[in-house]
Amino acid sequence: MTVFFSFITCKLIIKDLWKMEKELKRHSFGGSSIIFLLAFPFLCVGLDFFWGNTIPFDRWVQYFSSSETSFIGRKAINKTHEDQEFMNFHLARLVRGDDLRNLESSGFACDKSLHSIVCISNQPTIIDTSNMTIYIPSFNSSQQETIIRPYARQEDIPKVISPVHVIQYKNTTEPPHCQYSHQIPAVIFSSASTGNVFHEMNEIIIPLYITTKHFQSRVLFILEDYKPSFMNKYNKVLSRLSGYSVINPAENGSILCFPGSITGLKYHNNLALNSTGIPGGYSMQDFKHFLIRAYSLKYTHVSEMSKPRLMLLSRTNTRRFLNEDEMVSIMKELGFQVIIVRRSKVISNLNIFSQMINSCSVLVGAHGAGLTNEIFLPSGAVMVQVELLGTEWASNTYYGDTARAMGVNYLRYKIEPEESSLVKLYGRNSSIVTDPGSFFYKVGNLRAARTAYLDQQNVRINLDRFRGTLVEALSIVTAFEQ
């Protein structure tokens, strides 16, 4: 009974102290909380002594903390359950049909499409980063192994892409023991094939966005064939898609555990994102807005610019403009502020170069990887592609379709045979000049066609025809001016 009265009295005094503290705070007297906390245990122990009982201090702590601990415990359990449900739901978006049914029944499935292979696990996953072997429990009686080279375009997979071994082990097999555990799924992909902005965007960055954007940064990247240059160039993209540090398996060399995993990246098409394809709901416009936020780009629409600015991509080896100075003179005569970009370190520094591209209302260049940078143009801008002989399909497919999908106006300057250096090299009547399509079919060799049309071709622009294209571009970007 005395314990009961001691307890009640203590609580009443605490209540009065709490009111006093609130009153002190109302009159801006700080520090009362410290006094309250210091006085509390002595007060209660004193009262307990007064009533002739001794209650251990840990009992007092237990009373005031037990309800909170119970609440925190329930909250942690609920949070874990919510995290698991979140992960399972978004992993399931990466497979459809029979693959989805396999994932739901066995916890593991691989989406194998025309271009890409993406393997999904929603089961506890163990990854040995020293040899990139993934262990996943198997619901079948037999052990199975799947070897994946985590690259988006499987038909063009470079030999430098290291393989990942996925082992579905039986209950009788004991996998390696975890050294470090994570509460989010792992995403394994490779950065081996880099150095060309088209392939970096086409086969790594856009597929990575497709595969992981819907996870809202709640994934951890394991980057096979880790390249510091790739990380430096695309760190802003990776850090927006994942809220965690990227793991380099060559340096890590430990056993990591995850609640699930994704091996490989989903590919839709050339520099493309299909809103109806897996996982669904994202378009190239969404990807464009993602880049604007990732690189803190200033302009979202060309109407925000005060004057027309044109960037000319000047090639120094093949597909050069042989009368570039005259082209620039026309651009300036028409009122463009002209920026000439040649191969330099600034191009590889995407943090700077993306800002430069975004500040331009018109981008001009011959067919080539540099035109990939059109993805940083503001909406309503114009991309002018100088379409060389033998590049018609690739010009439209790689860059024309992409521009239109991202809200950029696409203008095509198709050269005449007389503008190409191939006339002088092969003759005006050569099938290489007169019928590129038949030449592709005749040689049946992509390397030979590439040598002719990409490695040996330069262009001397017809300035009168080209002026007309520039006038059209200018009229488009100035139509928004008030």
What's residue 348's pLDDT? 80
What's residue 75's pLDDT? 56
| Cα 354 to Cα 79: distance, rounded to the nearest angstrom | 39
| Cα 373 to Cα 360: distance, rounded to the nearest angstrom | 11
The token pair that represents 404 in the structure block = 């239109």
Contact of 320 with 457, CB cutoff 8 Å: no
The token pair that represents 413 in the structure block = 């300057």
pLDDT tens for the chain, 482 residues long, are 444 444 444 444 445 544 544 444 444 344 444 444 444 444 444 434 333 334 444 443 344 444 555 555 555 566 678 889 999 999 999 999 999 999 999 999 999 988 999 999 999 999 999 999 999 999 876 789 999 999 999 988 888 899 999 999 987 778 999 999 999 999 999 998 788 999 999 999 999 999 999 999 999 999 999 999 999 999 999 999 999 999 999 999 999 999 999 999 999 999 999 999 999 999 999 999 999 999 999 999 999 999 999 999 999 889 999 999 999 999 999 999 999 998 766 778 999 999 999 999 999 999 999 999 999 999 999 999 999 999 999 999 999 999 999 999 999 999 999 999 999 999 999 989 998 877 766 655 677 788 899 999 999 999 999 999 999 999 999 997 65
Q: Which of 464, 475, 473, 457 is nearest to 410 (CA)?
A: 473
Domains of the chain, each with CATH number or no CATH:
2-89 (no CATH), 95-282 (no CATH), 296-478 (3.40.50)
What's residue 52's pLDDT? 37
What's residue 17's pLDDT? 45
The token pair that represents 422 in the structure block = 């191939």
Please name every residue paired with 187 in a beta bridge, in sequence order, or none if there are none: 221, 262
Give the per-residue SS3 of the chain. CHHHHHHHHHHHHHHHHHHHHHHHHHCCCCCHHHHHHHHHHHHHHHHHHHCCCCCCHHHHHHHHHHHHHHHHHHHHHHHHHHHHHHHHHHHHCCCCHHHHHHHHHHCEEEEECCCCEEEEECCCEEEECCCCEEEEECCCCCCEEEEECCCCCHHHCCCCCCCEEEEEECCCCCCCCCCEECCCCEEEEECCCCCCHHHHHHHHHHHHHHHHHHHCCCCEEEEECCCHHHHHHHHHHHHHHCCCCCECHHHHCCEEEECCEEECCCCCECCECCCCCCCCCCCHHHHHHHHHHHCCCCCCEHHHCCCCEEEEECCCCCCCECCHHHHHHHHHHCCCEEEEECCCHHHHCHHHHHHHHHCCCEEEEECCHHHHHHHHCCECCEEEEEECCCCHHHHHHHHHHHHHHCCCEEEEEECCHHHECHHHHHCCCCHHHHCHHHHHHHHCCHHHHHHHHHHCCCECCCHHHHHHHHHHHHHHHHCCCC
Q: Which of 121, 195, 186, 151 is nearest to 343 (CA)?
A: 195
Q: What are φ and ψ of residue 243, in 5° steps? A: -90, 15
What's residue 436's pLDDT? 87
**Any residues with CB less than 8 A from the CB of 178 and at least 6 apart, and which?**
126, 255, 256, 257
CA distances 17 to 9, 11, 33, 268, Å, are 12, 10, 10, 66
| Cα 194 to Cα 198: distance, rounded to the nearest angstrom | 9
What's residue 143's pLDDT? 84
Q: Which of 362, 355, 357, 325 is nearest to 341 (CA)?
A: 357
Contact of 95 with 107, CB cutoff 8 Å: no
